[in-house]
Amino acid sequence: MKIEEMYAITPDIEGWRKLPSGIFVKLGNYVTLGDGAKLGNFAKLGNFVTLGDGVKLGDFAKLGNFVTLGNGAKLGNFVTLGDGVKLGDFAKLGNFVKLGDGVTLGDGVTSLQLAEQYRQTYRDLAPDHIFTKWLTTNRMSPGWGSVSPIKYDIGSTVEVQGEANDQQCAPGLHVFRIGERPEWHGLCSADHNLIAVRVRVKSEDILFAGLPTMDAKLRVRKLEVLD
């Protein structure tokens, strides 16, 4: 369906247009869609977005202003791309991946490959690393998300099941780079009374080390509580 035909459809009060296929889209000014592009339900396209031929957008994907997607790029459900992001031809992003403003990915790059590059960086630097674990005053995990609280006694080793992939929020233990605070990442209010303790993590136990703009909070399999 041509973009001119989409714009000819009268939007509802919130700006959504229902296409003949039944999907709903919200289109910004001057959007260009390549031949064969597919838009999932409730996809949002910012102003001046350009989509190459064959691009597929999963349900609820959001594209910021001036995003450019190369031919054949595939975006999983709930992907969010910041303003000015550029994806090379055939780039693939898994579900729930978020990229910040101005990120550029080369041709053929996948989120799994990027996640592995971040993990490899830690392996290249050293066999183990010091991170921050934020805890309650009685040394329990804060309970962000649907997880069971864990006690982190000084000198203890905590280990859980998890797998290495491109998902920041998945089974594992979440730690922060030294100096990062949870309120900066929307996990709690600024007036929290959580305490920061140091933990040691082996490079081989890092399950998620980051993606572009997402490298402050890591997910690990095992850690040693230092203080």
Q: Any bridge partners for residue 32, and if so which?
A: 50
pTM, entire model: 0.60
Task: Specify the residue for token string 């709903």.
Answer: 24
Check if the beta carbon of residue 64 is closer than 8 Å to that of residue 101: yes
In the chain, the domains with their CATH numbers are 3-109 (2.160.10.10), 114-225 (no CATH)
Check if the beta carbon of residue 52 is closer than 8 Å to that of residue 75: no
Q: Kindly write down the DSSP assignment for every residue of 185-222, as one continuous string.
A: GTSS-TT---EEEEEEEEGGGEEE---TT--SEEEESE
Q: What is the pLDDT along the chain (227 residues), one digit of tens a residue?
A: 666 777 788 888 777 778 787 766 666 666 666 656 666 666 667 666 666 666 667 666 667 666 666 666 666 666 666 666 666 665 666 555 666 656 666 666 677 888 898 999 999 999 999 999 999 999 999 987 666 889 999 999 999 999 999 888 889 999 999 999 999 888 888 889 999 999 999 999 999 999 877 889 999 999 999 99
Q: Any bridge partners for residue 197, and if so which?
A: 133
14 half-sphere exposure, CB direction, 13 A CA radius: 6
The tokens describing 122, both together, are 């830690």
Task: Specify the residue for token string 């992939």.
Answer: 165
Check if the beta carbon of residue 55 is closer than 8 Å to that of residue 37: yes
